Amino acid sequence: MTETFGKRLAGAVAARGPLCAGIDPHPGLLKAWNLPVDARGLEKFALTATEAIAGEVSVVKPQSAFFEAFGAAGVAVLERVVRLAKEAGALVLLDVKRGDIGSTMAAYTAAYLAAGAELEADAITVSPYLGFGSLAPALETASAGGKGLFVLARTSNPEAQSLQNAVLGNGKTVAQGIVDAAAEVNAGAEPYGSVGVVVGATIAAGELDLGALNGPVLAPGFGAQGATAADLRKLFGPGPNGVLPASSRDILKHGPGVDALRAAVKRTQMSLVSVNDPQENG
């Protein structure tokens, strides 16, 4: 039987810690590295960053949009990043935020999670805002192949608050409804399920009840967006299973030197030591 993503993620975090390192070839970062903002600069940036970081962390998260912006050449670089990160022993969470219905959602999922796909990742980000049920093709593909999903629930961007904190007829917020739907899929899984949620590290404490989720939490907003390790502990508690603080620019700004990038990763990891420390959870 195929090992679940939840089990693989738990093992990776135990071995390398909870940090999820983003590979975001933002034009501003390419310029900061004195690289041209074209496919050649993208390739140099992305491969250098991946080679420096992927062997140090449990999860690497390439942001697909920054590769897609360069067309077919950019997607070809993304394929190389995915392969390189896997070869270095990291799980690949491809940040694509796809969300659609029926056969279209199935096609998106096949592109990123199907065995043998050129962009085959270990997990992807998905949007549930056509209804959580619209994710059924992705849920089925992920479950069958031991892959994971991270569903947008309460994101860190200010524009999201009015929608994601809107109150439904049952008295719950939209975001809480998404968390609860993910929890239903994860029920009974050990050590936790394969359907995670995306919850910004900069939101207010108490907005969401994650107690029944039994799945991983991707927490963007850590580092460059202002959230600290102390904020993570305040928001998620001391040592919750499966919380993946995500940092990209705060690490990548230290390039292009490989040693400087790895040192930035180490500093970030040290700041997170107690976030997922089970000794602080009991």
- Which residues are part of the catalytic machinery? 97
Asked if 244 contacts 265 with a C-beta cutoff of 8 angstroms, the reply is no
59-62 vs 195-199, strand pairing mode = unpaired
243-247 and 91-98 beta bridge pairing: unpaired
With tokens 């995670």, the residue in question is 196
How far apart (Å, rounded) are the C-alpha atoms in residues 58 and 34?
29
Query: Distance between CA atoms of 66 and 69, rounded to whole angstroms?
Result: 5
What one-letter code names the amino acid at 143? S
Cα–Cα distance between 3 and 277 in angstroms, integer? 24
Q: Is the peptide bond before 256 cis (omega within 30 degrees of 0)?
A: yes
- 277 and 233 in contact (C-beta within 8 Å)? no
